[in-house]
Structure 1
């Protein structure tokens, strides 16, 4: 029998992240970790130093050809990553 203040664990964790103001950092970290899955192994193996600062995703790209390709689909990458996070975590992508 459930008590009136019982919550599912997912809801409790989300509430804890909001209360301690960790939600944004958690979303940022999960996006960086999901980069290989979202972009595929070919892109993930040629990108280095992924990090997020001030709603900007910084990516070091080893190949100039790949960098050009990623520049052309920048807005699609932003949309895909924000959709995965469920919020507007990113506003811009910077290629290094």
Structure 2
């Protein structure tokens, strides 16, 4: 016997994330961390030793002091691009170490 009101898994998951903002935010935070290498490329990702997000601040550890200073000058653009990649406002600041 078939049910008539069936929905696709994609539709069900979309409804679930719309109703549960906590999970939606966690997925967006995960996109920010994974998007670092995608948006900045493999060269910068190779100098990145550690990256994590805590209290809307992205902490990025870099092995190159020259790259660190270059990225500090482009911090505002990076915040904007990473938030766009996440699909919502997740990052307020980036701290380079």
1:50 is displaced (CA, Å) by 0.6
Higher relative contact order (CA 8 A, sep 6+): 2
Paired residues in the alignment total 94
- Which of the pair has more CA radius of gyration? 2
Aligned to 2:37: 36
How far apart, CA to CA, are the structure 2 residues paired with 1:48 and 1:15?
A: 36
Q: Which sections of structure 1, spanning at least 5 residues, go unmatched?
A: none
C-alpha RMSD of the superposition: 2.1
- 22-31 or 67-76: which moved more? 22-31
Shift of 1:4: 5.9
The answer for the alignment partner of 1:12 in structure 2 is 12
CA contact under 8 A between 2:35 and 2:85: conserved in structure 1? no
Where structure 2 has 5 or more consecutive residues not aligned to the other structure, the ranges are none
